[in-house]
Structure 1
Amino acid sequence: MKLLYAEDEKDLRRSLSRMLRKHGYETDDVPNGKIAAQMGLANDYDLMIFDILMEEMSGIEALKILRENGIKTPVLLLTAKDSILDKIEGLDAGANDYVTKPFSIGELLARIRVLTRERAAEKGRFVCGNLVLDMETSELSVGSTSFKLSNKEIEVMKLLLGQKDQMVTTLKLKQKVWNVETDEKIIPLYLSFLNKKLTLAGADLKIAEKSGMIYFKQVSD
């Protein structure tokens, strides 16, 4: 997932950019709305995060330029203002969501996940945590790190990612990806292959199996 982040407060921009990269988001950060508009027009981002109050050009002005030029990339606005009128102005300009400062990192990441999931679906991608499965390129990626997957690995990941937070039975996986006659020993083998790639990519999730149920779990669990 590739993000554009515009913020004129240097320390905040640096710290939040580091946090986003740590969570697997490839992030370009810029100091004002003018550069943000230029970058947004020139690059294909999955999400753009703009602070509203910036010197030279505000986040809302940058957003208007992008929308006027047909850029439909989701935009999340960050604002220190509590006025409902400011939020309405941002939403009317084409923003998809907003977060009021000060905000928790957990809330920001949750809103990013929602907006990037919607964007990924438009591009034929599956997203879970910081994982992205691109069906067009057959790649599994975390930030800028990606791995090519075999056809069977793609089918396994597609099934698991398509189930969101639900578990998948070993039987269903075997039926959908292989066939009923397939030796069940092949399933943990493929899960092991995939987990190695997830670890190398720096994913915050891994595939777990318990009592015939397969699901994603946080690496820290």
Structure 2
Amino acid sequence: MRILIVEDEVHLAEALTQILRKQHYSVDAVHDGQEGLDHALSGIYDLLLLDIMLPKLDGIRLLQKLRAQGYATPVILLTAKGETEDKIAGLDYGADDYVAKPFSTDELLARIRAALRRRGEVVPEDTLKLGNIELNPATLKLSCGGKEIKLILKESELLELLLTRKNAVTSKEQIIEKLWGYDSEAEHNNVEVYISFLRKKLLFLHATVRINTIRGVGYSLEVVS
């Protein structure tokens, strides 16, 4: 799961980034509304945390522009305590929820999980199953039968992406955007390395799930007997 934070208070944005990364989310943070709009329109994010008071383009106008373009990603507003008009405007323009500053970490995480569930996404505390394997993205543990191994974060994120797209082919470009970000310097060989790691671990576990390479297109999962 990848989250975009649009927050002009740099220290708060950094704190939120660390909190969410500890929960195994991938996180990007930007500090003005125009940059937030540009990042959001890349389409790589599963959720936006959006401050209302932003330079260049305020959060309400940013949200309005996104929804006008059919942007369906969940948006949680970060609002000042007592700013009722901002909350109402945000909800009217399509925000999924809001959290008033100062907020507790537990409340924010709960609202993120709820927003992702309402969208029908699999949130990190859930497990993903296919064939005889089960992945827990929150603990990074991959189990199969009586065996269990712990993945590194990028392996877990990659397998999670493939599992949530199990009925589709996932391109290397999609993997790079989801795991590293659309403006990263990651290349196709970075993806190939982690695909290789995962294949070896699935083989070690005697998994019935195989990662297929669709030449020139990307990767897909197959359950074999």
TM range (shorter): 0.5 to 0.7
Gaps of 5+ in 2: 138-142, 157-225
Q: CA deviation at 1:61?
A: 1.1
Is the contact made by 2:76 and 2:95 (CA closer than 8 Å) also made in structure 1?
yes
CA distance in 1, matches of 2:144, 2:36: 45
Any idea what SS the aligned residue of 2:55 has? Answer: coil
Change (3 A) 1:78 1:192: same
Q: CA deviation at 1:191?
A: 4.5
Any idea what SS the aligned residue of 1:103 has? Answer: coil
Q: Which residue of 2 aligns with 1:26?
A: 26
1:153 aligned onto 2:108:
no
Q: CA deviation at 1:10?
A: 0.9
The one-letter code of the counterpart of 2:28 is: D
Choose from 116, 123, 127 the match for 1:127.
123
Change (3 A) 1:24 1:86: same
Gaps of 5+ in 1: 139-150, 162-187, 204-221
Q: Which residue of 2 aligns with 1:192?
A: 147
TM-score of the pair, normalised by structure 1: 0.61
Q: Which residue of 1 aligns with 2:36?
A: 36
Deviations 1:10-57 (A, max 9, x none): 111111111111111101100011111111111221100101111111
Aligned residues: 150
Any idea what SS the aligned residue of 1:77 has? Answer: strand
Q: CA deviation at 1:81?
A: 4.0
TM-score of the pair, normalised by structure 2: 0.60
CA distance in 2, matches of 1:113, 1:191: 29
CA distance in 2, matches of 1:53, 1:191: 51
Q: Which residue of 2 aligns with 1:58?
A: 58
Any idea what SS the aligned residue of 2:107 has? Answer: helix
Q: How does 1:76-115 map to 2 (within 5 A)?
A: 76-115=76-115
RMSD of Structure 2 on Structure 1 (CA): 2.6
Instruction: Give the percent of matched residue pairs that are identical in Structure 1 and Structure 2.
Output: 41
CA distance in 2, matches of 1:4, 1:70: 18
Deviations 1:136-159 (A, max 9, x none): xx6xxxxxxxxxxxx2115xx6xx
CA distance in 2, matches of 1:108, 1:7: 15
